[in-house]
Amino acid sequence: MLCRGTDSIALASTMHYFLGTITGQDEDERPVLNLLRRAVRPGDTVLDIGANLGFYSFFLAPLCGKTGAVHAFEANPILIPHLRHSAALNEAIANITVNPVAVGSETNKELRLYDPERIGGSSLHRLPWLDSSKSVIVPMTTIDEYRRTQGISRIDVVKIDIEGAELDAFRGMDESFTVCPPKLIVCELALMIAPGQDQRPPPASIRGVYAAQIMEFLHSRNYEPHYIEADGEVGLRVDAGELVPMQQNLINVAFVHRTLRQARPDLFRA
């Protein structure tokens, strides 16, 4: 990864990725890294939806190798120059396509991205903890449209973290769930997010509602949610009711396609 200069974006990247985490964030990304390290193989096609500064894109691209590809999607225009610099540095060993667009349920549309200077936290929804007085207009596409345009015939792994817009993104890849369903989807579930919610603070009654909606949608497309163990193994199945009393506000969940256990038993905890 490359993040040049001493501006706020460069400084943020140093704190987020090289000192360990985002200030105030209570999730641990290491289990996700361990799972993806074990799951991604040469020749795989990976979608990084919500690439941010590209940590996952540039971690996974060498694992896919020159016979595979990473397609990185990032809506925040502030981050695009840094993503492109890093992609250029990796050209010799990986295929990385940087897409400066939001991913949603519609294509050929523009949306407002709120609080773009909040690196790792800006959103297409006016979430109550964002500064909604700051925003930028961004283009949007769907994964279905992108897949058709790019001639993509396989999607192996999806990593998605787009601050409350995940369900819209999944709705925009409904055709892909039939044509070339990814075997593994790693999704950050924000337990305090309810799109359209603008109360400060959000009421406790909405806790876990959005996560449950995502789980229900993906279940209808043959996916089951599982905990990710520290060593990267796919653990026990997640029940939506278990998310409500959790102390943390964020959890990374592995959504596994019904065919994955047979194809990759090595990924699962015995």
Residue 244 has a pLDDT of 84
Cα gap 24→15, rounded to integer Å: 12
19 pLDDT above the threshold of 80:
no
User: In this structure, what CATH number is given to the domain that contains residue 161?
Assistant: 3.40.50
The answer as to whether 204 is a domain residue is no
The answer as to whether 243 is a domain residue is no
Residue 194 has a pLDDT of 73
Sheet order of strands, 109-114 included: 102-103, 135-141, 109-114
Rounded-to-10 torsion of CA 1, 64, 174, 148: 90
Summarised one tens digit per residue, pLDDT across range 3-16 is 554 455 555 555 55
Confidence of residue 73 (pLDDT cuts 50, 70, 90): very high
Residue 8 has a pLDDT of 58
The number of distinct structural domains making up the chain is 1
Task: Supply the mean pLDDT for the chain.
Answer: 88
138 pLDDT above the threshold of 50:
yes
The answer as to whether 84 is a domain residue is yes
Cα gap 189→167, rounded to integer Å: 10
Which is higher by pLDDT, 198 or 178?
178
The answer as to whether 248 is a domain residue is no
Residue 248 has a pLDDT of 85
Among 36-45, 63-72, 120-129, the minimum mean pLDDT is found in 120-129
Mean pLDDT over 101-119 rounds to 92
Q: Residue 139: exposed, middle, or buried by beta-carbon count in 10 A (0-12, 13-18, 19+)?
A: middle
Rounded-to-10 torsion of CA 240, 73, 185, 262: 170
The answer as to whether 222 is a domain residue is no
Sequence-distant (6+) residues with CB within 8 A of 125 are 114, 163, 164, 165, 193, 195, 196
CA 182 to chain CA centroid, Å, is: 14
The answer as to whether 209 is a domain residue is no
The answer as to whether 198 is a domain residue is no
Summarised one tens digit per residue, pLDDT across range 42-70 is 999 999 999 998 989 999 999 999 999 99
Summarised one tens digit per residue, pLDDT across range 186-211 is 999 988 877 666 656 666 778 888 99
Cα gap 114→134, rounded to integer Å: 6
The answer as to whether 99 is a domain residue is yes
Mean pLDDT over 76-101 rounds to 92
102 pLDDT above the threshold of 60:
yes
Identify the domain containing residue 97 by its residue range. 8-180
